[in-house]
Chain A
């Protein structure tokens, strides 16, 4: 009975979320910042949850997330750039050496797999390390990956340090539904009669994609393997004495985390429509770490809430800090480029000092309590315990 109740609550939440996006896209203009926050927030939520799986649930402090995202983003982009666009994209490399295009979904999965394969290879030596050492090693890996992808010799595949573009993005996928070639009359008419529909689909697509991925991670955490991960986090020695093979389970967690970070990276590429390896700096990993810490280490819903809050703050609410005007105060001398990051640094310091558990702490699985206390917050983290 309890189980059916939980399922109903989860479906109700999912439904209300879709409804909320629908209402927003009907009422607001498609240029509203809220859609950027929703799309990018959903993508960051997935990446933050994947990082939380490793840092919060398995207790492995890894800082390689940006590296895995980069692998995912590049894998997706390389395999989906349309054939006719290759000569233009790879203009310095004679159109590159890959002469086929994969469907979007296949490329997305491949992006995850590529990241997971890299994670496996790196994990072999690196997972023997503990805590800070693991963090340093994974951080180093992410930097190396970035350098390798910018390497000119690999240009025919990665386009060197040049931008990859013209691959299918969320915008173009939806807009192509109503292409002007006579074959897509149905959507074309639909979009004409309901102009908000296009923006709704563009917004809901990343949300649903990352929702599915987060749901899979939650199911993993709820499974026997998730319990084994948590056991490793709580006490490695005891976990080993309970018959949990540390090396294998750490590797599983590491690869799974990388898999979803790779998909997240691919989705980020789809969101931005262009990617460049130089964007995947370690600062990106810290952004995600900030989200994880802010939301609560060991809380999936916390990471989701944290992601939306962070993206809303950085893309929208605190924009003024960089642009010279904030809360009506105009002070171009102080509020100039980069001031936002100063504010974020102060925020993370305050969180670590005074609010160490973040928004959710490690709680969330007790759905009744959250339903009572955090009902309003939870609708944002669309996927919570679906036991």
Chain B
């Protein structure tokens, strides 16, 4: 039995009357690449946002290496409105801001690229080093601990070199081609020294060749950085090629779970994607 990196238990996210994620439970083990798929609006990104602290789930619990990092139960007005399951199961409230979650070692990318546009490729990566730097505002301003700054710069450059982006270091992030921007976002996430990488549709908008390159890239960084990868993706060829296991969401609920081969032949998955004939 391999080690649990991430465990979601009964995570429910309800916006008003809409249940975006309904009672989602899943596990990601160390060293795995796990994919979360589902039709548009199935609640995949919402699930990611619950893990990373952008949203506070209405109910449920997220554990990272067996430590509870997110936990909540319906309270206040939501107590009456709550439409999910297992409403009374959790009593603790653990709510952390996204930066704390990142500090634990969970890095993420975004579905719509969120680079720091006005800054260079190098600076984008350098910012991610800020969190773990041993410094305070005075020492940084007056360059008292200049070694630390030098270390941050060196490590960022090394990271860019490994990703084959060193020649772009002084390029503004907005001026990069789309595919490279995606890779930079992943590189930036890697700069926070994560153990778990959450990728939100890394191949969105990519052509087949770029997708193929991305597949190799994800494998490569996973081995290099000893990562566990949890990703949302729509490109089925990428998902099927790369994932160890797949979870399928539809209307917020998990409808299937298994290896790529199992998922490909799962009737409910096919129904969810293609629809069911009314009178079949």
Chain A interface residues toward B at CB < 8 A: 216, 219-220, 223-225, 227-228, 230-231, 234-235, 237-247, 252, 256, 362
Contacts and interface: CB of A to CB of B under 8 A. Distances in A.
A38 B149 CA distance: 36
A220 B137 contact: yes
A246 B100 CA distance: 11
B203 to A, nearest CB: 19
B135 A224 contact: yes
A225 B141 contact: yes
A230 B116 contact: yes
Contact of B128 (A216, A230, A242): A242
B192 A234 contact: no
A225 B131 CA distance: 10
B250 interface: no
B130 to A, nearest CB: 5
A230 B119 contact: yes
B141 A241 contact: no
A243 B115 CA distance: 14
A225 B140 contact: yes
A235 to B, nearest CB: 5
B192 A243 contact: yes
B141 A227 contact: no
A260 to B, nearest CB: 12
Contact of B141 (A219, A230, A246, A362): A219
A240 B98 contact: yes
B266 interface: no
Given A242-B127, A244-B127, A234 B140 contact: no
Given A216-B141, A220-B141, A245 B99 contact: yes
B188 A242 contact: yes
Interface stretch (B82-90, B101-109, B209-217, B254-262): B101-109
Contacts of A223: 137, 140-141, 143, 149
Nearest to B136: A225
A228 B102 CA distance: 15
Contacts of A235: 114-117
A266 B140 CA distance: 26
B97 A225 contact: no
B142 A219 contact: yes
30 contacts: A219-B141, A224-B133, A224-B149, A224-B152, A225-B137, A225-B140, A227-B123, A227-B130, A230-B118, A231-B127, A235-B115, A237-B98, A238-B114, A238-B115, A239-B127, A240-B102, A241-B98, A241-B99, A241-B102, A241-B107, A241-B108, A241-B114, A242-B99, A242-B102, A242-B128, A243-B131, A243-B132, A244-B99, A252-B137, A256-B137
Contacts, number: 99
A227 B127 contact: yes
Q: How many residues of B sit at the interface, in one of the four size bands?
A: 35 or more
Contacts of B100: 245
Given A230-B123, A237-B114, A241-B99, 13 more contacts: A219-B143, A227-B119, A230-B119, A231-B119, A235-B114, A238-B114, A241-B98, A242-B127, A242-B188, A243-B102, A244-B99, A244-B131, A252-B137
Give 4 nearest A-B pairs by CB, closest first: A243-B131, A238-B114, A223-B140, A243-B102
A231 B116 contact: yes
A83 to B, nearest CB: 34
Nearest to A253: B137
Contacts of B98: 237, 240-241
B70 to A, nearest CB: 15
A241 B192 CA distance: 9
Contacts of A219: 141-143
Interface string B229-273: 000000000000000000000000000000000000000000000
Contacts of A239: 116, 127
Contact of A234 (B118, B130, B135): B118
Contacts of A246: 97, 99
Given A220-B141, A224-B133, A238-B116, A243 B149 contact: no
A185 B1 CA distance: 88
Contact of B130 (A224, A247, A252): A224
Nearest to B148: A224
A42 B175 CA distance: 37
Nearest to A256: B137
B141 A242 contact: no
A234 B137 contact: no
Contact of B99 (A224, A234, A243, A252): A243
A224 B132 CA distance: 11
Interface in B156-196: 188-189, 192
Contacts of A231: 116, 119, 127
A234 B119 contact: yes
B52 interface: yes
A224 B143 CA distance: 10
Interface string B65-81: 00000000000000000
Contacts of B118: 230, 234, 362
Contacts of B129: 224
Contacts of A216: 141
